[in-house]
Amino acid sequence: MKITRLFGPWYHLGQLEPGAREIRVELSANDHSAMTHEGDIIDDTVTVTVPAS
């Protein structure tokens, strides 16, 4: 699910629910299609663990 488009160097996620959360970033072209290099989408995914309060 896409959340937003970014035009700057950072983005504040806000409060996340506790537990493991996967965050994925994908580069997009001006027409909103995924940017690719040699046929592979340019993206990255990380998993962060949000502690319970």
Mean pLDDT by 10 residues, the chain (53 residues): 85 93 93 95 97 90
Question: Is 5 in contact with 29 (CB distance < 8 Å)?
Answer: no
Which pLDDT belongs to residue 25?
94
Residue 34 lies in a domain: yes
Which pLDDT belongs to residue 20?
98
Q: Which two tokens stand for residue 9?
A: 């160097």
Residue 43 lies in a domain: yes
Residue 13 lies in a domain: no
E strand spans, the chain: 19-26, 36-37, 40-41, 43-50
Residue 2 lies in a domain: no
Indicate the number of domains in the chain: 1
Whole-prediction pTM: 0.76
Residue 4 lies in a domain: no
* Collapsed DSSP state (helix, strand, coil) of residue 2: coil
Which pLDDT belongs to residue 5?
86
Enclosing domain of residue 32: 19-50
Residue 8 lies in a domain: no
